[in-house]
Amino acid sequence: MSSLISVNNLTRRYGNFCAVNNISFELAAGDILGFLGPNGAGKSSTMQMLTGNLAPTLGEIRINGVDLLENPKAAKASIGYLPENPPLYKEMTVTEYLQFCGRLHKLEKSALTSACDSATERCGLGDVHHRLIGNLSKGYQQRVGIAQAILHSPAVIILDEPTVGLDPIQILEIRNLIKSLGESQGIILCTHILPEVQAVCNRVQIINQGDIVYSASMDDMLGKQSTKFEITLTENVGVEKLGDHHAFKSIDMIDDHSFTVESDLAADKLSEYIVQQGWGLTHFSLHQTSLEQIFIDLTTTDSSMTDSSKADEAA
C-alpha cells in the first residue's frame, strides 16, 4: 500500500535547541494515527512542518508522493488541516465560508456547490448552513472547521485537538465523524486526550523531547503480552516479604492484600509458585497494557522536564 505521508529523518532546530530530532514515519490510506506527546515534546513543530507552515532544518516530507519542499503547492493540495483554533470567519454564514474556502482551493465553479454540499452533509451542518458562524455553538464551529479541512477531498487530514472544549455528546459526534473519514483517507489526530486515541485510532505514536519513543498499532499495543500481574492474597504478606522471593522483579501495593507484581515467569508458573507459598491466592490476572501507562512510563522521566522557554519553542 502506497504511503500518503512519508517522513524521513525530519529535524527542526531552534538555535541550539532540537525540537524535532531525526524522526521518520509513514501514513497510509485507512490509517488514523494518534500523535501524542507532553507539552514541549515537538508535536506542534511536527504538525507545522507536515502542513508546510514551518521549514524543517533537515529531512524529507512527501505528501501523496509529492515532495513538500520541492513542490509545496501540489503537496499542500492533498492536505486538509484543522488547527487547534479553527480559522473561521465568524461574520460569514456556514455556506459562505465553505464557498470561500473552496475558491481558495481553486475548485472549479461547477464543482464548488457539490463540494460544499458534501462537506456540509458529512459534518452534520445541514440545519445550520444558513446561520452566521459566530452564532453557532463551539461544537458546530468545530464541525465547520472540519468541513473546511475535507472540502477539497484531500488524501490526508491533520486534526489538532479537534474536541477541545466540547461537551460529551459533541465529542462522541466528532469521534464518529473522524472514524467515518478514516475509512477512505489518512488521518493524523494530534491530541492530549488519551481515551480519544483509543476510541478512534488504529495506530499510535508518542513523541518525547523531539524523538519518536513509541510506535505501534492499537491492536499490538492492547494485545502485547504483559510481564505484570495483579494478585490478591488472604494472608498478610507485605511488600518486603514478597520482595524476598526472586520470582518477583517488582512489587507495587494496591491495598493490604492486593499487589501488582512483575515477573519473568509465565502466568501458569507464577500462579503455581504463589500457591505453593501458602499465601491464600484468591485473585490472579494479567495486568492489561494501557495507553495511559505507556505514555506515563515513556514521558515522565527526570530528563523529560524542560524549562519553559524550551517548551514554548517546541510545543
C-alpha 261/C-alpha 271 separation (Å) is: 11
> What pLDDT was estimated at residue 286?
82
Distance CA 173, CA 185 (A): 18
**For position 81, what pLDDT does the model report?**
94
Structure confidence by residue, pLDDT tens digits, 176-191: 989 988 888 999 999 8
pLDDT value at residue 111: 93
CA angle 59/184/6 to nearest 5° reads 10
If you average pLDDT over residues 223-228, what whole number do you get? 68
Distance linking the first and last C-alpha atoms of the chain? 32
pTM: 0.76
Q: For residue 3, list its beta bridge partners.
A: 28
Helical H runs in the chain?
43-50, 72-76, 94-104, 109-122, 138-150, 168-181, 194-200, 218-223, 239-243, 267-276, 291-299, 308-314
What domains appear along the chain, each with residue ranges and CATH number?
3-217 (3.40.50.300), 225-286 (3.30.70)
310 has pLDDT over 70: no
Q: List the single range of 47-51, 120-124, 153-157, 284-288 with lowest mean pLDDT.
A: 284-288
For 105-161, the pLDDT digits (tens) are 999 988 999 999 999 998 889 999 999 999 998 889 999 999 999 999 999 999 998
**pLDDT tens profile 12-31:** 999 999 999 999 999 999 99
